[in-house]
Amino acid sequence: MSMSSAPRSGSLAPYLFVLPATVLFVAYVVYPILYVICSSAYSWDGINAAGFVGVANYIRLFTDDAAFGLAIRNALLWAPLTILPQMLLGFAIAYMLETGVPRQAIYQAIFYLPAIISPVVVGIVWQRIYNPFGGLLSDIGFASGLRFLTVPFLSDTKVAIYAVIAVNVWQWTGFSMLHYVAGLKGLPTETLEAAKIEGANLRQTIVYVVWPMLRHVHLTLILLGIIGTLQTFPLIYMLTNGGPNHATESLPNYIFLQAFKLQSMGYASAISVVLMVIALALSLFQVRVLGARFALAE
């Protein structure tokens, strides 16, 4: 490139190229975040004039809101009880399919099918399955004598969160399976053959060879699972709407409840800010800890 064709140091052309993306980022990311943070300092129903309350919404949130505490508890339950089973089941299915099952693609499609079904449809279907009056599980329970299947899963405060978690695991196990199928296809055959020559049995091959070599897949699924935990809304909304008595409440569902049903926009904004801080902290953790390990795994 000649000196005459090189861009001058004072040229505005580079900034004009990034200007559209910058405007969109400010309009749809920066401004909403600042707006929600400002709104959290007011008592506002979304229609009438807002009244400044300072940090009162946050004080109420952490000292006088049992439902918020239940939502945090449910998030802490949701993450390990969905991520780990999905990973283990997904790996088991993928490994079995990769060991020579005929018509493998058909089985992969069947297991992956729940992941592409709308959560609204999944919620409606599983409401019918869990229905204690004529639902699939209750009918099986009465016919077989297995009375634990006749429990009102979605209306029992002690059972409801686990019933919803079970549906989530059912829906997304195929997603984990697909990641593990891709990971297994990329494993070096030389290492597997060496393990076989050394006399490693199936369990030893899986535990000491295959599973550690899929570390990058494990980390990817953990990251996606944490993100999914913070975004869980439609499945809970359709199955229980956060009930009974907030037993299955999630933070997104609680924000929706406060903002659009109870018309407490300021308080909902405070919950949103807390959710944003949690997401930011987890993101920093991922970059500083899991991100570094992911780079090493690659």
The C-alpha atoms of residue 25 and residue 147 are separated, in whole angstroms, by 55
Q: Convert the pLDDT of each residue in 100-128 to its tens digit.
A: 778 888 989 999 999 999 999 999 999 99
Predicted confidence at residue 1, as pLDDT, reads 47
Q: How confident is the prediction for the chain on average, in pLDDT?
A: 89
List the domain boundaries for the chain: 17-297
Assess whether pLDDT exceeds 60 at residue 164: yes
Res 282 pLDDT > 90: no
Between residues 17 and 297, which one has the greater pLDDT? 17
pLDDT class for 296, splitting at 50, 70, 90?
very low
CA–CA dist 30, 8 (Å, integer)? 31
For residues 100 and 220, which has the higher predicted lDDT (pLDDT)? Answer: 220
Structure confidence by residue, pLDDT tens digits, 44-93: 888 888 899 999 999 999 999 999 999 999 999 999 999 999 999 999 99
For residue 3, pLDDT over 60 is answered with no
Q: What's the pLDDT score for residue 297?
A: 44
Query: What's the token pair of residue 126?
Result: 């599983």
Task: For the beta carbon of residue 95, count every other beta carbon within 10 angstroms.
Answer: 19
Confidence of residue 5 (pLDDT cuts 50, 70, 90): low
Q: Which range is least confidently modeled, 132-136, 167-171, 177-181?
A: 132-136
At residue 10 the predicted structure's pLDDT band, cuts being 50, 70 and 90, is low
Average pLDDT over residues 222-226: 89
Instruction: Return the pLDDT at 162.
Output: 96
Cβ partners under 8 Å of residue 242, min gap 6:
236, 248, 249, 250, 253, 254, 257
**What would you report as the CA-atom Rg of the chain, rounded to the nearest whole angstrom?**
25
For residue 175, is pLDDT > 70? Answer: yes
Which architecture, in CATH terms, is 17-297? Orthogonal Bundle (1.10)
Average pLDDT of span 267-274? 95
Q: Residue 164 in contact with residue 239, Cβ under 8 Å? A: yes
pLDDT grade for 238, boundaries at 50, 70 and 90: very high
Provide, rounded to the nearest whole percent, the portion of the chain with pLDDT above 70: 94
